[in-house]
């Protein structure tokens, strides 16, 4: 039925739907996704693809989890909506569970998207300092190449020029530092000569900007959209120490790294760091409904926000944040994650993915291979000696060749503005070992096909 009508749907799509940044070669050959099952999606032309990107880094539990749909249905029948100006049970229950997953007491503020969760984090950081008598602490330090969202503050925090320059001026007060990129070290170091100059730079910025003006540092555990940049082990602990020494808060963006993706409940836990604020979205519902959250260490909340005076309240209201159906799906997601040991599974499959990817080393154009949990980036270069990023046209052909072979991969990096020469892999946790191998086989074939 759909096969016959697929081109008509795509024609209407071209006419009526305004897409933002479209994925890869999808601009020319979009697929209309009509269904999915496990790690596979089905398009209107009847083709089935192994989705090695979990949609947009979020469908961690795969595409056919009836329990998640049923949780939404049950909640909508029982109590479809009420705002959190009062309260409701799904939000209370999910906030408690998230706090447990975070491994310490956190206060949870619900919102609608990863971008909004970060906006809330910036507001909380500024207000926290203001209420402690330090109103000049308003700057936020973030890294080049990181992505933190599409709104004026979250985009300002992002370090990807190509997404920003048409929309400037963005929110002021965001200061960028070089990313921890061990393949293209901004300080010209190799891992053997590295003294973590990239982390030291944050310390320098605290002095140059005057630390009494800095409210927070925001960092993903691993820069994901910027090309899966896995920092040296000591990097995040060092940021924690720098924040402590300069009185700034540490915000960790777990929008992609959270909920098991890195093989730990949250990515920062792999580094033994306790953030002041954690932001999350995407995997919180395994992508089944929109939901996001900003978690704040309970001590900070008690210190600055728990008082009765009106000025101590966080001035951020949204209509749909913590929607009951979304929270119910969030709870069902965590139930499945726990019942099926999905965090361990992601870690074990991640180890397999990392081992399998080693097979690609030595193929033409394969520069660096980085893996962290069930998340990986394969950096494509003209040649290994120059490390010059592979031309966008050729990277696009690799992505297209994977799709022709039935596997969806991503293309990210912003190594140069808009230059995405890193093939990214972020498969659902429900992939089998054989499917992990197939992803790597297909990527290898695709790279050889353009060589």
User: Judged by CB, which is closer to ligand PMP: 17, or 434?
Assistant: 17
Least CB distance from residue 291 to ligand PMP, whole Å? 10
Least CB distance from residue 290 to ligand PMP, whole Å? 8
CA neighbours closer than 13 Å in the CB half-sphere of residue 38: 8
Per the DSSP assignment, residues forming a β-bridge with 414 are none
Coil, strand or helix at 30: coil
Least CB distance from residue 428 to ligand PMP, whole Å? 16
User: Judged by CB, which is closer to ligand PMP: 150, or 404?
Assistant: 150
User: Judged by CB, which is closer to ligand PMP: 75, or 113?
Assistant: 113
Q: Tell me how far apart the alpha carbons of residues 312 and 305 are, in angstroms, rounded to a whole number.
A: 5
Least CB distance from residue 147 to ligand PMP, whole Å? 5
User: Judged by CB, which is closer to ligand PMP: 118, or 127?
Assistant: 118
User: Judged by CB, which is closer to ligand PMP: 370, or 438?
Assistant: 370
Least CB distance from residue 113 to ligand PMP, whole Å? 3
Task: Give the DSSP H or E segment for 275.
Answer: none
User: Judged by CB, which is closer to ligand PMP: 49, or 147?
Assistant: 147
CA neighbours closer than 13 Å in the CB half-sphere of residue 66: 0
Least CB distance from residue 434 to ligand PMP, whole Å? 29
DSSP letters for 233-258: TTHHHHHHHHHHHHT-EEEEE-TTTT
User: Judged by CB, which is closer to ligand PMP: 54, or 118?
Assistant: 118
Least CB distance from residue 143 to ligand PMP, whole Å? 11
Coil, strand or helix at 139: strand
- The site for ligand PMP (CB under 6 A) is made up of 113-115, 118, 147-150, 220, 224-225, 253, 255-256, 281
Least CB distance from residue 234 to ligand PMP, whole Å? 22
User: Judged by CB, which is closer to ligand PMP: 118, or 294?
Assistant: 118
Asked if residue 280 lies in contact with residue 117, where contact means CB atoms within 8 angstroms, the answer is yes
Instruction: For residue 283, count other CB atoms closer than 10 A to its CB.
Output: 26
Q: What are phi and psi of 247, to 5 degrees?
A: 70, 20
Q: Tell me how far apart the alpha carbons of residues 185 and 191 are, in angstroms, rounded to a whole number.
A: 9
Strand order through the sheet with 277-280? 106-111, 292-297, 277-280, 249-253, 214-219, 139-143, 174-177
Instruction: For residue 250, count other CB atoms closer than 10 A to its CB.
Output: 24
Least CB distance from residue 256 to ligand PMP, whole Å? 5
DSSP letters for 155-219: HHH---HHHHTTS-S--S-EEEE----SSS-TTS--GGG---HHHHHHHHHHHHTTGGGEEEEEE
User: Judged by CB, which is closer to ligand PMP: 43, or 253?
Assistant: 253
Closest by alpha carbon to 154, among 113, 183, 188?
113
């Amino acid at each position: 039925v759909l096969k016959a009508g697929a081109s008509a749907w795509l024609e209407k799509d071209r006419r009526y739907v305004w897409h933002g940044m479209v994925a890869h070669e999808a601009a020319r050959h979009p697929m209309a996704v009509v269904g999915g099952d496990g790690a596979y999606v089905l398009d209107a032309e009847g083709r089935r693809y192994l989705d090695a990107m979990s949609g947009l880094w979020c469908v961690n539990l795969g595409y056919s989890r009836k329990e998640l749909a049923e949780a939404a249905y049950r909640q909508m029948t029982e109590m479809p909506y009420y705002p959190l100006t009062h309260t409701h049970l799904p939000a209370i229950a999910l906030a408690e569970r998230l706090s447990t997953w975070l491994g310490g007491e956190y206060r949870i503020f619900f919102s609608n998207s990863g971008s909004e969760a970060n906006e809330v984090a910036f507001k909380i950081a500024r207000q926290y300092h203001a209420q402690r008598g330090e109103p000049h602490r308003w700057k936020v330090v973030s890294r080049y190449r990181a992505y933190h969202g599409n709104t004026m503050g979250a985009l300002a925090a992002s370090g990807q020029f190509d997404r920003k320059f048409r929309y400037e001026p963005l929110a002021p007060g965001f200061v960028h530092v070089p990313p921890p990129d061990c393949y293209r070290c901004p300080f010209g170091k190799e891992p053997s000569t590295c003294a973590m100059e990239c982390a030291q730079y944050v310390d320098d910025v605290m002095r140059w900007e005057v630390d009494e003006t800095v409210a927070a540092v925001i960092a993903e555990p691993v820069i994901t959209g910027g090309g899966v940049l896995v920092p040296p082990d000591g990097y995040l602990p060092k940021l924690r120490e720098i924040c402590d020494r300069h009185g700034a808060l540490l915000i960790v963006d777990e929008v992609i790294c959270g909920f098991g993706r890195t093989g730990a409940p949250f990515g920062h836990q792999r580094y033994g760091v306790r953030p002041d604020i954690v932001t999350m979205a995407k995997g919180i519902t395994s992508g089944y409904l929109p939901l996001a959250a900003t978690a704040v260490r309970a001590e900070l909340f008690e210190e600055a926000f728990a008082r009765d005076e009106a000025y101590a309240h966080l001035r951020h209201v949204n209509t749909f944040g913590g929607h009951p159906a979304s929270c119910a799906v969030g709870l069902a997601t965590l139930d499945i994650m726990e019942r099926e040991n999905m965090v361990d599974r992601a870690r074990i499959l991640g180890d397999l993915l990392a081992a399998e990817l080693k097979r690609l080393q030595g193929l033409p154009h394969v520069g660096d291979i980085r893996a962290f949990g069930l998340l990986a980036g394969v950096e494509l270069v003209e040649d290994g000696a120059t490390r010059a990023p592979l031309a966008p046209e050729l990277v696009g052909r690799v992505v297209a060749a994977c799709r022709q072979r039935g596997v969806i991969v991503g293309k990210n990096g912003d190594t140069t503005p808009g230059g995405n020469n890193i093939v990214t892999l972020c498969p659902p946790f429900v992939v089998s070992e054989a499917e992990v191998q197939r992803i790597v086989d297909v990527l290898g074939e695709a790279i050889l096909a353009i060589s």
